Amino acid sequence: MSMDPELDVTEASLHHNLNGSDSKVTSMDTTTLASADQEELLSDQPAQLWRRRKLELMSWTERDKHTVIPKRTTLWNGVEVDVELAEALTLLQHAGIATEFSCAGVSPLDEPIDHSLYAYVTLVKSEAADRFVQYAIQNMRHRLLVTLETGSGRYDLSSFFIGHNRSFCWWMQQCAAHFNKETNHSSTT
């Protein structure tokens, strides 16, 4: 996949960082370095979508941001999570998939500030998580950005566009629900 080198630097510096350290682009392929953890890009977006993402990001940073509706959270397994992702997290848990971090992402329709830039869910790598990631990539296609942190064994599934953050939450819930149905159906037959 060819990516704009300028965009690679922007993506690396703006990508939410779970380790608390800055990401650094090490090559023009799909590998970046975050601390001692390598990230492998697993999703496959064409170059024109990366350019569109960059334009959307530039537009977002320049626009006025006003809170229309404050961030809504709920307790889920003793942890405060965004309401928009709570059901998806529950469904993933029922499928035997452990999650570590999540955020519904910014939205011009509600809270544009108290969220990460992109909606995301972090999954702990496992056989069930491997299958779910492939299922989500197949179903969400270009909407989903997926990386694997090889050192820590975590998948980061995130919205590819800021404007798709809320639909990302809906798609995560739908994929998790259908994945559960298919997994339960195949285990009973």
Domain count, the chain: 1
pLDDT at res. 18: 30
> pTM score, two decimals?
0.76
Percent of the chain with pLDDT over 90: 54
153-182 pLDDT, tens digit per residue, is 999 999 999 888 889 999 999 999 999 999
Q: Where are the beta strands (DSSP E) in 59-181?
A: 73-76, 79-82, 99-103, 120-124, 144-149, 154-159
Highest mean pLDDT among 66-75, 96-105, 128-137: 128-137
23 to 100, 142, 163: CA distances (angstroms): 19, 23, 24
Mean pLDDT of 76-82: 91
CA dihedral 184, 185, 188, 189 (to 10 degrees): -150
CA distances from 105 to 21, 162, 163, 164, 174 (A): 20, 7, 9, 9, 18
Chain-centroid distance, C-alpha 174: 15
59 vs 177 pLDDT, higher one:
177
d(CA 22, CA 109): 29
Residue 119 confidence (pLDDT) = 87
pLDDT at residue 187, rounded to an integer = 66
pLDDT tens-digit readout, 107-119: 665 556 666 788 8
Answer yes or no: is pLDDT of 2 > 70. no
pLDDT confidence of 31, banded at 50, 70, 90?
very low
- The encoded tokens of residue 14 equal 């703006």
Give the pLDDT score at 162: 85
Predicted local confidence at residue 1, as pLDDT: 36
What is residue 138's predicted lDDT score, i.e. its pLDDT? 97
Q: H-type helices in 2-120, by residue range?
A: 5-14, 47-62, 83-94
Residue 141 domain boundaries: 5-188
Query: What length does the chain have?
Result: 189
Mean pLDDT of the chain: 79
Among residues 145, 120, 157, 156, the alpha carbon closest in space to that of 52 is found at 145
Closest among 138, 174, 132 to 155, alpha carbons compared? 132
